[in-house]
Structure 1
């Protein structure tokens, strides 16, 4: 069964879409997050290249968490036997329907099976909706609670029984949300009615410049010498003071006769 229509806005290169169409899959993925999450289509893709080691009919096409874990457990055993290396982070992101995880996983599988090179394959894995939120206007961006709901799936909490690890994930999302809010406040202070601080409102006068172009020293008290070599003290107001020597009379000596 062949399909001539590819899903719109999948985020995949055209070469990868043509490759998927050439495999004659049982159904062509329309929603990559949903259709690849259970691993059934992944098993069907590998069955075309390893027909003796993997059989697509042994995988159930279901949406429950138990079905997903069972299918991917079989795929994990097949990957270890054939020494095929797929990032576990991509697999977990595909299982939990993380944004962009299935697309990156399919691109890795395409490069692995066909030795094809893709220029726009992503180097850094980021399964949050941070990029999507940046494209939205501020009024439409998520709140802290909405950010937690968008970036943590219920299946992640069901698989991970450790409360501390789930709490760390929530704290990381909240910190990311708070950083984004700080950036928004710095870029648009008027929208958040942020008043300038006292230091920002203070009037700053430019430094006074003398006739020679150099800044005038605030301390104007200088010592200059007059012709007789005595220092002359100049005050801030421009007045002149001279040092005056006062001659005192010689001390008189008295003798007292007893």
Structure 2
């Protein structure tokens, strides 16, 4: 997932993130998302039934962050999405330029799943 976002993709991703209600304020995107909790909140916002938010613990400790991301990867499998261990290491270390591409691709997967869910619902045409 070593994808450099265009300025437009980056802007669109940040605007999308700004629309989601989080449990804590966003101050520094690389640090804020490093423990995975806010990413879990994104998934919960769109698909509350596929994630248990209480399993994700806000932390500054690397081991807890890795644990949160391991749980997230299990949830991501339901979205046909996966983050490599190497990428997770960069995210938990708050490496600049790492989280935005992840969020960009997560948005694409969530949009795809939303479309599938919408299309699979029965339609009632009543007279």
TM-score, L = length of structure 2:
0.70
d(CA) in 1 for partners of 2:12 and 2:104?
10
d(CA) in 2 for partners of 1:32 and 1:100?
10
Please report the RMSD computed on the Cα atoms of aligned residues, expressed in angstroms: 2.0
Instruction: Please list every run of at least 4 consecutive aligned residues from structure 1 whose deviation after the TM superposition is greater than 4 angstroms.
Output: none
d(CA) in 2 for partners of 1:27 and 1:98?
21
d(CA) in 1 for partners of 2:97 and 2:42?
19
- Does the alignment pair 1:14 with 2:7? no
CA contact 1:37–1:95 (8 Å) conserved in 2: yes
Aligned to 1:45: 42
- Does the alignment pair 1:87 with 2:83? yes
Matched length: 104
d(CA) in 1 for partners of 2:80 and 2:31?
24
Relative contact order, CA 8 A, sep 6+: which one is greater? 2
d(CA) in 1 for partners of 2:67 and 2:33?
14
Match of 1:24 among 14, 21, 26: 21
CA contact 1:44–1:55 (8 Å) conserved in 2: no
1:83 CA displacement: 4.8
More strand by share: 1
* Mapping 1:1-258, distance limit 5 Å: 13-80=10-77, 82-88=78-84, 89-115=86-112
Deviations 1:143-184 (A, max 9, x none): xxxxxxxxxxxxxxxxxxxxxxxxxxxxxxxxxxxxxxxxxx
TM-score, L = length of structure 1:
0.37
1:114 CA displacement: 2.4
Aligned to 1:7: none
Deviations 1:32-64 (A, max 9, x none): 221111100111101112211202232111110
1:17 CA displacement: 2.1
Deviations 1:1-60 (A, max 9, x none): xxxxxxxxxx76332222112221123422122111110011110111221120223211
| 5+ long unaligned stretches in structure 2 | 1-6, 113-127
d(CA) in 2 for partners of 1:91 and 1:47?
20
CA contact 2:31–2:94 (8 Å) conserved in 1: yes
